[in-house]
Amino acid sequence: MNKHSENTSWWKRFMKSMTKAHDLGTEKDIMLDHDYDGIRELDNVLPPWWLAGFYITIAISIFYIVMVLGFNKYSQYDELNDELTTAKAEIEAYKAANPQLFDDANIVAFTDAENLAKGKALFTAKTCVICHIADLGGSIGPNLTDKHWILGGGVKNIFITLTNGGRPGKGMIAWESTITREERILLASYIISMQGTTPAAPKEAQGDIIWPEE
């Protein structure tokens, strides 16, 4: 070991061993004969760390191909099915532990100002106003402030209508996949709170179901 090497820090020696980089000023030793418009090419070797990563990647790839194609191990489809089975079991367990969140028979309308305000905001944001007008007097859709209902009044019936949609061919879509269960309850609660109000231009009553029952 020469004197220069003894004076070199361990970090520099480590970096040199990891990169195999040539010292500055020794480019002529690795200069190639190629000449591209005056640009010369150096014959630098690939860093050992890069080569190690490259070989490890090849080894892992071969192992993966053999295990998947040769022995049918580590199947992504099997892993997905296992995860779906576990997830379904966890969902059913959660439903069983929290029936009030999923049993529609337990639905109760909100009556407090905060939740009714949320329901009103949803009524506007979810385009209900296009068919029922902002004051719920009705346009394409029926008047929601009178006692006549086509599919039944009350929080449960309105919730079901919001969930499953209106009559076939009448334009009201099912909102189950678009808004949450709680949001549908908020909407139903707001609609109920508007019962008995006087719209500016109420649409003629529709539906044979009277609610509240007289």
d(CA 188, CA 193): 9
From 151, 135, 168, select the one nearest 206 (Cα to Cα): 151
The CATH code for residues 104-210 is 1.10.760.10
CA distance to 26, 28, 41, per residue, from 34 (Å): 17, 13, 6
From 107, 83, 99, select the one nearest 156 (Cα to Cα): 107
Per-residue pLDDT tens over the stretch 75-113: 778 889 999 999 999 999 998 888 777 777 778 899 999
Tell me the sheet residues that pair with 36: 39
Per-residue pLDDT tens over the stretch 129-144: 999 999 999 999 999 9
Structure confidence at residue 214 as a pLDDT band (50, 70, 90): low
H helix intervals, 109-202: 113-125, 128-132, 154-164, 181-193
pLDDT of residue 194: 95
The rounded percent of the chain whose pLDDT value lies above 90 is: 53
Domain boundaries in the chain?
Answer: 3-70, 104-210
The letter for the amino acid at 124 is T
Report the range of poorest mean pLDDT among 93-97, 146-150, 191-195: 93-97
pLDDT of residue 27: 72
DSSP helix/strand/coil, 130: helix
Q: Is the pTM of this model over 0.85?
A: no
CB < 8 Å & 24+ apart, contacts of 20-29: 20/44, 20/45, 20/46, 20/47, 20/48, 21/47
Mean pLDDT of the chain: 86
